[in-house]
Amino acid sequence: MPECRTCGGALTEVYDFGRQPLSDAFLEPDKLEGEFFYRLAVGMCGACTMVQLMEEVPRDKMFHEDYPYYSSGSEVMRKHFEHTARDFLDTELTGPDPFIVEIGSNDGVMLKAIADAGVKHLGVDPSGAVTERARSKGIRTRTAFFEESEALAVVAAEGNADVIFAANTICHIPYLDSIFRGVAALLKPNGIFVFEDPYLGDIVERASFDQIYDEHFYLFTARAVRNMARRFGLELVDVEHFGVHGGEVRYTIARQGAREPKPAVEELLAEEDARGLAQLSTLEEFGLRVTAIKDDLVTLLTKLRDEGKRVVAYGATAKSATVANLCGLGPDLVEFVCDITPQKQNRVTPGSHIPVRGPEAFRDPYPDYALLFAWNHADEILAKEQEFRRNGGKWILYVPDVHTV
């Protein structure tokens, strides 16, 4: 019987996405040999309710010198993190020697406003090029995997932190025990650990199955996070739900007894129970919807190809690796993917080998249909690409079902 990666309880598999490549491994077109694949499947722990991948990809295959995701590419996300930073500056970072550590600080999208305010900060992220970008903006950053030993090194060199923040990172880390021990060692007595990640409640509601890929090892709920924190003398004291990246929850964790849990915690736990988020049947139903979306998308794209329509994709997201490889998409169905990230351009998508072009290719000339791989940025992208629809173009979305707009 497979075991839960965090508590050792029995893990039941609920959906198998089959053979998948590394989601962020964009390949040079003439170097396709030896591509790495693993089996992507998701399951739930019967003991602690944590939803997680059945198989773990070695961390240095995913996060390394050439990791190509730069967080500052979305204006909406830049604003979201600037707002987050201002919030910390106004609340938790007002004492005598404020200090904030960010796990997975990437190109410094959140810490920028903290650095500009002259407040002591430290980013920790293992991916070389993105951390170099952060340093070039004046953000103090260590290129390292956060884990217990790294946390102890930070305490020795810098002292304890008022706030440890992480966005879209804790769910990437299978070895959560080491993270929580590190957090417990690094926090000041009344410090808080705040992290936000895609929320299982939204993933189930929207059938946004492309949130499941190598880097997203865990799909959190408040219940699973609270169970986890309690094993390390920590308590979940606040939760906040918001819409970025297709629906996320921000969890605030403090030392047990240090802070009174806010009513929002019990409210979300009750909502999760009412929705059956810890029940296998809920995830099995989700799996049926995934299969239906896959079939509908393949049917639509095949029909459009047979009608001679041009279809391109928009946003070479990590998420889209799951869609493309589950659906067997390739250059025959999707001509190319356009993306603003220079590190992804002139490469091909992992597994599906669809060429990636710059955003100018999108207009040259506009295709008939654009498959929105970056559906989580739909508002931002549809607003800046209004000309496409004025020219008769249509967007294809597959969340929460396959439809065109």
Contact flag: residue 162 with ligand DWN (CB under 6 A): no
93-112 binders of ligand SAH (CB under 6 A)? 103-104, 106, 109
108-137 binders of ligand DWN (CB under 6 A)? none
Contact flag: residue 5 with ligand DWN (CB under 6 A): no
7/402 with CB nearer Zn ion: 7
Contact flag: residue 218 with ligand SAH (CB under 6 A): no
Cα–Cα–Cα angle for 244, 248, 249, rounded to 5 degrees: 135
Q: Which does 341 bind (CB under 5 to 8 A by kind): Zn ion, ligand DWN, ligand SAH, none?
A: ligand DWN
Contact flag: residue 10 with Zn ion (CB under 5 A): no
From the CB of 195, what's the least distance to ligand SAH, in Å? 10
- Separation of alpha carbons 238 and 222, rounded Å: 10
Residues 377, 393, 396, 398: which binds ligand DWN (CB under 6 A)? Answer: 377
From the CB of 317, what's the least distance to ligand DWN, in Å? 3
From the CB of 166, what's the least distance to ligand SAH, in Å? 7
- Separation of alpha carbons 237 and 255, rounded Å: 9
Is the separation of the CB atoms in 50 and 35 below 8 Å? no
- Separation of alpha carbons 166 and 151, rounded Å: 14
3-state DSSP of 350-370: CCCCCEEECHHHHHCCCCCEE
Contact flag: residue 9 with Zn ion (CB under 5 A): yes
Contact flag: residue 314 with ligand SAH (CB under 6 A): no
Site map 38..77 versus ligand SAH, x via CB under 6 A = -------------------------x---x-x-x------
What's the Cα-to-Cα distance from 23 to each of 1, 160, 213, 287, 314, rounded to whole Å? 27, 35, 7, 20, 16
Amino acid at 161: A
Residues 271, 341, 353, 368: which binds ligand DWN (CB under 6 A)? Answer: 341
From the CB of 167, what's the least distance to ligand DWN, in Å? 7
Contact flag: residue 51 with Zn ion (CB under 5 A): no
17/145 with CB nearer ligand SAH: 145
159-188 binders of ligand SAH (CB under 6 A)? 167-169, 172-173
Q: Please tell me the chain's helix, strand, coil percentages from 3-state DSSP, rounded to the nearest 5.
A: 40, 25, 40
Is the separation of the CB atoms in 124 and 102 below 8 Å? yes
Angle between helices 148-158 and 176-186 (to 10 degrees): 20
- Separation of alpha carbons 165 and 195, rounded Å: 6
Is the separation of the CB atoms in 36 and 25 below 8 Å? yes
14/77 with CB nearer ligand SAH: 77
Q: Which does 319 bind (CB under 5 to 8 A by kind): ligand DWN, Zn ion, ligand SAH, none?
A: ligand DWN
H helix or E strand, kind and range, residue 44: strand 37-45
- Separation of alpha carbons 132 and 143, rounded Å: 8
Q: Which stretch binds ligand DWN (CB under 6 A): 40-48, 87-95, 224-232, 339-347?
A: 339-347
What's the distance, Cα to Cα, between the start and end of the chain in Å?
Answer: 45
By C-alpha distance, which of 341, 343, 344, 392 is closest to 366?
392
Instruction: Name the residues that contact ligand SAH, by CB under 6 A.
Output: 63, 67, 69, 71, 103-104, 106, 109, 124-127, 130, 145-147, 167-169, 172-173
Residues lying near ligand DWN in the complex (CB under 6 A): 69, 73-74, 168, 215, 315-319, 339-341, 374, 376-377, 380-381
Q: Which residues contribute to the site for Zn ion (CB under 5 A)?
A: 4, 7, 9, 45, 47-48, 50
